[in-house]
Structures are given as structure tokens and as C-alpha cells.
């Protein structure tokens, strides 16, 4: 796998993911061998050129003052640290050797004052970092959500919820790198340079050994980065899978119980946990090997330097106080070196996260506002000319074929056909969720794709199959998109949808908060709320996709009578199976396998005794 490197699977894992046929009791299938071409590597190079942190610096522009305070505070802290080795040396070489307690008292008090000053600086630094980090994190995730909301529906057709949630976590990982790891490392670098210079004044041999050991230490850390990257990718995939599994487990609890699938679903979750555990073991093994080698190099360096310093004291080339100062400096230099180890890990984590975020940021947005029309044309007839559409690539099936359809302004058009004939897809094209593979869609003489989506959808009242109910009050659900609920519009919408009685019967009426996706409501109640939401917008165009199929006959009759009055002067497109919903349409369009095979009024089509006639006859025989 180009992203993960070589992927190893056990035989059980391979067989579990292999779709095969059984022939004579044996699994038989096809293995597809793929190799990258030069063009692939060219695209990889282009992709890598986008992966940098420079675009993230914009989030820090508003905090320049705080960042400068942070820099000044840290530099002050470094200079306070510089005084400690000299104070310790003076205690040993002057205070102890001369047996001068008064001098020792003064030095120790000075050390205490310096320590308190350093603590105060650290206190304020932590608060500033928390403030900047929190604000930057919120801004990054907010921009990520803005970008995600601008992506076309097609993007969400192929993404799991768990995958997107993991990418939100990636924002936090990048933010941590920028606000904590990178800043601390920059300040550690200042400490490293200054203390290395001071150490050189004590002994060039010691500073040389220290620098050689540091180079070996960093090289050892870098040696493991590639393997860590592979493991991180694998862990991300499994964490995303785990998130998706849990979401499905909770949302699908009713079906799980109905089909006694508790054990099956739990085992599926446990298999994911087993994979995560194996990755964690590999990760731990790598971390232990990396850490053990790094600590060995570090401790060996400390032992060698201690020996050299002790020998220098014995030979009279260094005082005991100087040796104590050298040991203190080495201790202070070990901190930046260890910080560099942490920085390299954090940098790699952030780089991987940035790659994944770049997959979202580089996606083409649903519309480019420049050049888009902000006013609907006066002629509002909808026209579809030679429309072809497929969801996948060139080899996928055509869902719609040679669609030629005119929807006059102010008329009601019904679209009927068997399941899978392309009715819902046609509706989604009219809403600009997808662009046709071939052909043109127009509003009057204007290409529908040239009209701003926000403008077009603001004029459309829509009820789709599987419309979503949010975990908010009923009023907020109906007035979706409005900060302040218009009570007059709300009551009118509820009346048209015949939802007034059941809403007012709830404990808090319109302020009753309902569960995620309408938990606690019947399908019929949810459908009436969705209808009320569409009516509340007071739209010029109405698109209904099986909007009343969950209603009983009595409620459907009332709702349809109310809607007929509401439809006056509006362009209406209804997708439905029920005869009662479509028979009064100005024109009925019959779809079969993605093609229009008949169109006309109810009377005309029944007289033809074609596909529509048989659909109607089947419903009457079944008593639908």
C-alpha cells in the first residue's frame, strides 16, 4: 500500500476480507496485481508539495502580543537558568572551601528567589499556552467544519462517520504540535545553544563528547520514524473503523435485537479491538526499542562525562565546584535533547495528521461563488435536456439515461416508477446535489449549475427519504436555518402538515426537545415534522420524495388536502408510489431503468394501458 508500506495480514484476516466463490469445496477467487506508473509518482510529488504547516500560521496572527510575551518570558527563564551553575560552583568553591556560611546563605537565598521567579514565568507561560491553544484549536476545527459543509454530497456518499471524527481529532493533534511541542522545542533550542556555549568554557573535550552523543541520539530516533508512520496509519484506520462500528452498534440496536445479532455485532467489535491491540503491541515494542537505545546513549554519555570531569578534578585541572556546575549543565542540556525526541514524534504525528486533513482541504468545493448568479431568472420553467447520470466512474452503471423533461412554472409534476428506477436520483439532480454526467439542466434560459446553490436551495422546500430530525426542540427543527423562530410561519406550517394536535399534546409543546433523528417519535410524526419544515420556508419550488408514505390513510388525506391549497402558484415535483398522492398532478412521468417511458395526465396514462396503468392496477388490487 503506497500510504502504509507493506501490509501484513494473517491467513484468517485475509480470508475474512476476501470475497470468493466456493468450487468443489475450495475457495476460488481472483488476485488483482497493481503497480504504480511514473505518473503516480509525479502526482505523489505534487501532493507532497502541498503538505506544509505554513498555511496554519494564519491562526496565530491575532495572538502576536501574547506570543511575544511568551518569547520574552521564556528567554528570561533561560537567562535565570544560566545563573544556577555559577551559583552552585560558588557554593562549593567559595562557601564550602572557605567555610563561609554567610556567603552560602546569600547564594541559597538568591537561588530561592531565582527559582520563584522561574516558577512565576512558568505559571504565566502555561496560561498563555492554554489560551492560545484552545482558541487555535477551536478556529481550526471550525474551519474544518466549514470546509466539510462546502463539500458536495458525493463526498459524504463514500465517507464513514468514524473516519470524519478521526480527522477532527487530527486537527487537535496538529494544534498541539504548533502550540506546545514546536514552541517548547524552539525554546529548548535556545537553552541548548546557550548552555552548550557555557559548557565549552569549562571543557572542550566534554562538549565534544556531548555533541557526538547528541548526534547519535537524534540519529537513533530518526531511524524508527518510518516504521512509526506505518503503524500510525494502521492505527488511524482501525480507530476510524472502531468509531463507525460503535455508531452503527448504537444506532442499529433495534435491528440487532430483532434479529438476535448481539453476539455477531459484539464479535465484530471485538475483532476490531483485537487488531487495535496488535497494533498497540507493535507500537509498544517499537517505542521500547527506541527508548531503550536512546536512554543507553544518554546514560553512556553521562557516565563518560562524569568520569572525565572527576579525573580532571583529581588531576587539578578542574575544581569540585566546576564539576558540580558541569553536571548541572549536562542535566539542563539533557532536557532539550529529550524534548527533541518528543518533538520528532510529535512532528511526525502532526505531519501524518496534516496529510489526512489535506485530503479534505484539497477537495473541490460544491460551488465556486465567483460568476454564479445571485437572482433567479423571471422564467422559472425547469428543463432537463438529454440527461445521463452515473454515481461512480466511467465503468459504473448509468442511473439516468436520455432524460428529457420540462417542468412548467407553477405546475405539479409527479414521478412514479418501480424501486431503483432513478426517481430519487432525478430529484437530487434538480437540487444540484450532483451534476449530470451528460446533458443540461436549466431554469428558464439559465443553466442550473450557474445559479448559486444557497440561493437555489433557499427557494426550495424539500422532503427527502430519510430526512434528518435534529436533537433540538420541535420549533427549532421546523424552523431549521432560522436563528429566531417566526411563530406565525411555524403555526401555519404545522397546520398544513396536520401536526398541531400531536405537538401540542407533548409536555412542552413546541419547546419539547426530541432525541437524535427523532427518537421517541413515530415515522408518521417525523414525516409531518419534515413536511412542516418544508412549508415553513415558504418556497417557490417544492420537491417531495415519498413524503407521506408513513402516514395512515386518514392523516394522508388531510395532509394532501392542505398541501393542495399550499401548492397553488408553486412548482411542485412529487416522487411517490401511492395513487392518492399523484393522481391529481398536472403531469405524471413514469421512469423505468432510468429512462422516461411514459408521461401524461392520470387519465391519459391509464387509457394507454401501459406501465403506469399496471402500477395503478397493482395498487388497486393490493388495496394500497
Q: Which of 87-96, 147-156, 396-405 has the lowest mean pLDDT?
A: 87-96
Q: Which of 14-28, 236-250, 445-459 has the lowest mean pLDDT?
A: 14-28
> Domain check: are 152 and 183 in the same one?
yes
Establish if 71 belongs to a structural domain: yes
H helical segments located in 177-261? 182-202, 204-223, 225-251, 253-258
> Domain check: are 349 and 495 in the same one?
no
Does the pLDDT of residue 44 top 70, yes or no? no
Q: What is the CATH number of the domain that holds 175?
A: 1.20.1560.10
Model confidence pLDDT, tens digit, residues 164-175:
887 888 888 887
- Three-state SS letters, 266-321: HHHHHHHHHHHHHHHHHHHHHHHHHHHHHHHHHHHHHHHHHHHHHHHHHCCCCCHH
What does pTM read for this prediction? Answer: 0.72
Grid coordinates representing 556 are 394522508
Higher pLDDT, 491 or 279: 491
Grid coordinates representing 293 are 537505545
Select from 491, 505, 556 the least CA-distant residue to 528.
Answer: 556
Higher pLDDT, 466 or 411: 411
H or E stretch covering 443: strand 438-443
Range of the domain at 168: 58-361
Q: Classify 615 as helix, strand or coil.
A: helix
Does the pLDDT of residue 624 top 60, yes or no? no
Counting the structural domains of the chain, the total is 2
From 361, 394, 421, the end of a domain falls on 361
State what percent of residues in the chain have pLDDT above 90: 17
Mean pLDDT calculated for residue range 88-107: 78
Q: What is the CATH number of the domain that holds 454?
A: 3.40.50.300
Grid coordinates representing 248 are 452503527
Establish if 10 belongs to a structural domain: no
Model confidence pLDDT, tens digit, residues 509-531:
889 888 777 777 888 889 999 99
Strands lying side by side in the sheet with 446-447:
400-407, 382-389, 438-443, 446-447
Q: Give dist(CA 88, CA 579) in Å, integer.
A: 94
> Domain check: are 270 and 405 in the same one?
no
Q: Give dist(CA 503, CA 555) in Å, integer.
A: 15
Model confidence pLDDT, tens digit, residues 556-593:
889 999 999 999 999 999 998 777 788 889 999 999 99
> Could you tell me if 286 and 228 are in contact, meaning their C-beta atoms sit under 8 angstroms apart?
yes
pLDDT-derived band of residue 534, with 50, 70 and 90 as boundaries? Answer: very high
Can you tell me which residue has the cell 547519535?
A: 216
State what percent of residues in the chain have pLDDT above 70: 92
Establish if 20 belongs to a structural domain: no
Model confidence pLDDT, tens digit, residues 608-622:
888 888 888 876 654
How far is Cα of residue 233 from the mean position of the Cα atoms in its chain? 16
> Domain check: are 351 and 387 in the same one?
no
Q: Classify 160 as helix, strand or coil.
A: coil
Q: Classify 514 as helix, strand or coil.
A: coil
Task: Give pLDDT, residue 427.
Answer: 93
Establish if 42 belongs to a structural domain: no
> Domain check: are 534 and 573 in the same one?
yes
Q: Classify 406 as helix, strand or coil.
A: strand
Q: Give dist(CA 57, CA 174) in Å, integer.
A: 12
pLDDT-derived band of residue 176, with 50, 70 and 90 as boundaries? Answer: confident
Higher pLDDT, 416 or 355: 416
Task: Give pLDDT, residue 50.
Answer: 54
> Domain check: are 262 and 330 in the same one?
yes
Task: Give pLDDT, residue 4.
Answer: 57
Does the pLDDT of residue 623 top 60, yes or no? no
H helical segments located in 362-441? 423-430
Establish if 2 belongs to a structural domain: no
Amino acid at each position: 500500500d503506497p500510504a502504509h508500506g507493506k501490509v501484513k495480514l494473517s491467513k484468517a484476516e485475509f480470508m475474512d476480507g476476501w470475497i470468493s466463490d466456493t468450487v468443489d469445496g475450495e475457495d476460488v477467487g481472483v488476485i488483482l496485481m497493481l503497480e504504480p506508473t511514473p505518473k503516480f509518482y509525479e502526482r505523489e510529488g505534487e501532493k507532497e508539495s502541498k503538505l506544509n504547516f505554513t498555511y496554519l500560521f494564519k491562526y496565530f496572527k491575532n495572538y502576536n502580543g501574547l506570543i511575544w510575551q511568551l518569547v520574552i518570558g521564556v528567554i528570561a527563564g533561560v537567562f535565570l537558568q544560566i545563573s544556577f551553575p555559577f551559583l552552585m560552583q560558588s557554593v562549593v568553591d567559595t562557601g564550602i572551601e572557605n567555610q563561609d556560611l554567610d556567603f552560602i546563605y546569600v547564594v541559597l537565598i538568591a537561588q530561592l528567589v531565582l527559582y520563584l521567579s522561574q516558577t512565576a514565568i512558568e505559571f504565566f507561560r502555561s496560561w498563555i499556552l492554554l489560551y492560545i491553544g484552545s482558541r487555535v484549536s477551536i478556529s481550526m476545527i471550525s474551519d474544518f467544519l466549514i470546509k466539510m459543509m462546502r463539500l458536495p454530497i458525493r463526498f459524504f456518499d463514500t465517507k464513514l462517520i468514524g473516519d470524519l471524527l478521526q480527522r477532527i481529532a487530527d486537527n487537535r493533534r496538529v494544534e498541539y504540535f504548533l502550540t506546545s511541542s514546536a514552541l517548547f522545542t524552539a525554546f529548548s533550542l535556545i537553552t541548548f545553544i546557550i548552555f552548550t556555549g557555557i559548557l565549552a568554557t569549562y571543557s572542550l573535550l566534554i562538549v565534544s563528547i556531548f555533541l557526538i552523543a547528541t548526534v547519535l541520539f537524534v540519529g537513533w530516533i530518526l531511524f524508527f520514524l518510518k516504521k512509526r508512520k506505518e503503524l500510525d496509519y494502521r492505527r488511524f484506520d482501525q480507530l476510524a473503523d472502531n468509531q463507525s462500528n460503535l455508531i452503527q452498534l448504537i444506532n442499529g440496536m433495534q435491528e440487532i435485537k430483532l434479529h438476535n445479532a448481539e453476539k455477531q455485532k459484539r464479535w465484530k467489535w471485538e475483532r476490531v479491538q483485537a487488531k487495535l491491540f496488535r497494533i498497540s503491541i507493535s507500537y509498544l515494542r517499537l517505542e521500547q526499542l527506541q527508548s531503550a537505545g536512546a536512554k543507553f546513549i544518554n546514560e553512556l554519555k553521562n557516565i563518560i562525562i562524569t568520569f572525565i570531569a572527576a579525573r580532571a578534578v583529581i588531576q587539578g585541572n578542574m575544581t569540585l565546584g566546576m564539576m558540580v556546575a558541569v553536571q548541572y549543565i549536562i542535566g539542563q542540556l539533557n532536557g532539550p535533547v529529550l524534548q527533541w525526541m518528543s518533538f520528532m514524534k510529535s512532528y511526525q504525528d502532526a505531519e501524518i495528521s496534516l496529510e489526512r486533513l489535506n485530503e479534505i482541504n484539497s477537495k473541490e468545493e460544491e460551488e465556486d461563488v465567483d460568476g454564479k448568479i445571485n437572482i433567479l431568472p423571471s422564467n422559472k420553467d425547469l428543463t432537463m435536456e438529454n440527461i445521463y447520470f452515473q454515481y461512480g466512474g466511467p465503468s459504473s452503471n448509468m442511473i439516468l439515461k436520455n432524460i428529457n423533461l420540462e417542468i412548467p412554472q407553477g405546475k405539479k409534476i409527479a414521478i412514479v416508477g418501480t424501486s431503483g428506477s432513478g426517481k430519487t436520483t432525478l430529484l437530487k439532480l434538480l437540487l444540484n446535489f450532483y451534476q449530470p454526467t451528460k446533458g443540461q439542466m436549466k431554469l428558464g434560459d439559465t443553466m442550473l449549475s450557474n445559479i448559486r446553490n444557497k440561493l437555489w436551495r433557499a427557494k426550495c422546500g424539500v422532503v427527502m427519504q430519510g430526512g434528518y430530525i435534529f436533537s433540538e426542540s420541535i420549533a427549532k427543527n421546523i424552523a431549521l436555518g432560522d436563528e429566531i423562530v417566526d411563530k406565525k410561519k411555524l403555526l401555519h406550517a404545522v397546520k398544513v402538515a396536520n401536526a398541531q394536535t400531536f405537538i401540542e399534546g407533548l409536555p412542552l409543546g413546541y419547546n419539547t426537545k426530541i432525541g437524535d433523528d427523532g427518537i421517541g417519535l413515530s415515522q408518521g410524526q417525523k414525516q409531518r415534522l419534515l413536511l412542516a419544515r418544508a412549508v415553513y420556508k415558504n418556497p417557490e419550488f417544492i420537491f417531495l420524495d415519498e413524503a407521506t408514505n408513513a402516514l395512515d390513510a386518514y392523516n394522508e388525506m388531510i395532509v394532501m388536502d392542505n398541501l393542495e391549497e399550499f401548492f397553488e402558484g408553486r412548482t411542485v415535483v412529487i416522487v411517490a408510489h401511492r395513487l392518492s398522492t399523484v393522481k391529481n398532478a398536472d403531469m405524471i412521468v413514469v421512469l423505468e431503468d432510468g429512462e422516461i417511458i411514459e408521461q401524461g395526465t392520470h387519465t391519459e396514462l391509464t387509457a394507454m394501458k401501459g406501465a403506469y396503468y399496471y402500477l395503478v392496477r397493482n395498487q388497486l388490487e393490493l388495496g394500497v
